[in-house]
Each structure stands twice: as C-alpha cells, then as structure tokens.
C-alpha cells in the first residue's frame, strides 16, 4: 500500500517487496546498517502515509465497520 519497495531474497530469487510486508528478519537486514538520515527519511514517509489514511480508519471505526486494534486479547466466548 505504501508503494515503497525494497529488494529481498525469498527462496532462491530476489523480489521487490513493499516495506510493510517485509519479515522482521528482512527489516533488520535492510535497516540496521542504514544511516540515521536514511532512517528518518523512511520514518517520515511511513508517518506521512499513516497521516493520510488515519481519517479513513477513524471513519470506518466510527461507523462500526472496523474495530480498533489493541494489544489486549479478544474476550473469550462461552
């Protein structure tokens, strides 16, 4: 959805993967050695994307179409 792709090797071939779909391992591989300036640029892009979609998510939540994601486990059903 972000349109920001990085190359990652999956299996025996390289693929262009959107940053939000990288595995935790791939994220570490791609970003642990980046300069602070590069990391700020990535954060800025991702934060801008969140700011653009946040009103839509709030409207969907208000209308009961989606529920807010929390760290709490869902209630157990009887």
d(CA 9, CA 46): 23
Q: Tell me what the pLDDT averaged over the chain comes to.
A: 92
Which residues neighbour 62 within 8 Å (Cβ) at sequence distance 6 or greater?
none
Which residues, 6 or more positions from 12, have their beta carbon under 8 angstroms from its beta carbon? none
d(CA 66, CA 15): 32
| Nearest CA-CA partner of 45 in 1, 11, 10, 15 | 1
What is the residue extent of each domain of the chain?
5-62
Taking only the tens place, the pLDDT of each residue in 26-43 is 999 999 999 999 999 999
Checking if the pLDDT of 78 tops 70, the result is no
pTM (2 d.p.): 0.72
């Amino acid at each position: 959805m972000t349109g920001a792709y990085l190359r990652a090797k999956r299996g025996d071939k390289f693929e262009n993967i959107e940053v939000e779909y990288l595995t935790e391992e791939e994220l570490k591989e791609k970003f642990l050695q980046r300069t602070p300036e590069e990391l700020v640029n990535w954060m800025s892009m991702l934060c801008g994307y969140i700011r653009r979609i946040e009103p839509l998510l709030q409207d969907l939540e208000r209308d009961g179409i989606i529920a807010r994601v929390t760290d709490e486990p869902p209630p157990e059903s009887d």
